[in-house]
Amino acid sequence: MDCISINYKKANAQIRGAFAFSAEKQKQFLYDLREKSSASAGVILCTCNRTELYFCGGKEENILSLLSLYSGIDTETIKQTAMFFCGAKAISHLFCVCCGVDSMVIGEDEILGQTKNAYKNSCAWGNSCRELNVIFQSAFACAKQIKTETALSNVSVSAATLTANAAAKSGSNILMVGASGNIGRIIAKDLLSHKNISLTITVREHSPDSYILSDSRVRTVPYRERYKYIDEADCIISTTSSPHYIFTRSETEKHIRTPKNRLFIDLAVPHDIDREIAGLKNISLIDIDHFRNIAADNNIKKMHSAELAKKLIEKQCDEVQKTLALQNFLAENKTAEDRAFLYKLRPNLSAAQFEAVLNAIKKE
């Protein structure tokens, strides 16, 4: 398995936004991945902080051309901003992603659910294979083990929680667009964990994804009327998958009558909120990258747990490599004698040692 990752470490929000493919676009991309690059299988993960492609087989140049076609970013820029992982390093990277070790906010939990959903979609679309199944299922099991045996997620402060905390500090009246999304739901729930919060969330008519919280402090309003509620709001949060601005400067300015400080939080990639809104009087605007500095402080607190997690990841990755090596060997050598011997030998050897034994047996 190999991996191409466009993530927050090297790619800014604008570039990441170009790779924020919709579910339908992801499905078509994986179809083209098989048809145009000769890859046998693939999983594509799209979040606000990363787009990652995990794949088996296929030519890298063809895959880069396909990424360029779908994103509109030229291949040279992709090469400069992407991170490339092959074989064992790709397996280790996936484990670190699932466990939250590679996240902007170390130990955050949302990424595991997002990765599970990406894998589930790949399976549903007929794009998985035995190798990917073994690797992804093992990564999910490792993430569960780390959550149980370390304090990594217990002290985690996710981007959603950081957003809710910042919003709550700005005032009690919160207007939120995008509460039906994965991150939006978490933010809404985190907001309601604070006292004296009044939350207004927008809902689209005839939308099956409309999300309504059962709480007396929550008010739902039509999405098309969102500007009407800006004046009373202390904080406006937007986290949608819209390709266009949800709030523009001109319309926002028209609807502000009460002079007071307001905080706009834009968690969308690409941006939901017109950058020029920050030029209006008494308005502050922050986006997903703003939380990187806050996350850095929180990450220090989690370094010890992260080191423990990395040791578990290293051990489990080694086991996965042995599993894959053994499966490939047994597919070619089916004798019961070899099978019993290798199962006894496997626990006492590292992946490199075990593969060396298998290669030696093949040469006999």
- Show pLDDT as tens, one digit a residue, over the chain (364 residues): 999 999 999 999 889 999 999 999 999 999 999 888 888 899 999 998 899 999 999 888 999 999 999 999 999 999 999 999 999 999 999 999 999 889 887 788 889 999 999 999 999 999 999 999 999 999 999 999 998 888 777 665 677 888 898 999 999 999 999 888 888 888 898 898 888 899 999 998 766 445 556 788 899 999 999 999 999 999 999 999 888 999 999 999 999 999 999 999 999 888 999 999 999 999 999 998 887 777 777 767 777 888 888 999 999 999 999 999 888 888 777 665 677 778 888 888 888 888 888 888 876 6
What pLDDT score does 246 carry?
A: 94
Looking at 3.40.50.12280, 3.40.50.300, 3.40.50.720, 3.40.50.2300, the CATH number of the domain 159-291 comes to: 3.40.50.720
Q: Give pLDDT, residue 185.
A: 87
For residues 67-104, one letter each, b for 16 or more C-beta atoms within 10 angstroms of the residue's C-beta and e for the rest, the string is: bbebbebeeeebeebbbebeeeebbbbbbbbbbbbbbb
- Rounded CA-CA distance 296/292 in Å is 6
Please choose, from the candidates 173, 203, 129, 165, the residue with its C-alpha nearest in 3D space to the C-alpha of residue 295. 165
Alpha-carbon distance values, 56 to 271, 302, 326 (Å) = 33, 33, 18
Residues 96, 145 contacting (CB under 8 angstroms): no
Q: Return the DSSP state at 272.
A: S
CB 55, CB 63: distance < 8 Å: yes
CA 85 to chain centre: 17
> In whole angstroms, how far apart are CA 344 and each of 251, 333, 363?
70, 16, 21
Instruction: Please report where in the chains the tokens 């370390």 appear, as a residue.
Output: 150
CA–CA separation, 2 and 268 (whole Å): 28
Cβ–Cβ < 8 Å for 264, 285: yes
Taking the C-alpha atoms of residue 314 and residue 181, their distance in angstroms, rounded to an integer, is 33
Alpha helices per DSSP H over 125-173: 130-149, 159-170
pLDDT at 342: 82
**Dihedral sign (CA 318, 2, 19, 26):** negative
DSSP 8-class letter at 222: E
CATH class as words, domain 2-149: alpha beta
| Whether the Cβ atoms of residue 109 and residue 120 lie closer than 8 Å to each other | no
Tell me the two tokens of residue 211: 């999300």
Secondary structure element (H or E) that encloses residue 54, with its range: strand 50-57
What's the pLDDT score for residue 326?
87
CA-CA-CA-CA torsion sign (230, 235, 241, 243): positive
DSSP annotation string for 300-342? HHTHHHHHHHHHHHHHHHHHHHHHHHHHHHHHH---HHHHHHH
Check residue 206 and give its pLDDT: 63
> Cis peptide before 270, with omega less than 30 degrees from 0?
yes
Q: How far apart are CA 123 and CA 72, in angstroms?
A: 27
Residues of the chain with CATH 3.30.460.30: 2-149
- Chain region(s) in the chain for CATH 3.40.50.720: 159-291
> Between helices 88-98 and 110-124, what is the axis angle to 10°?
120
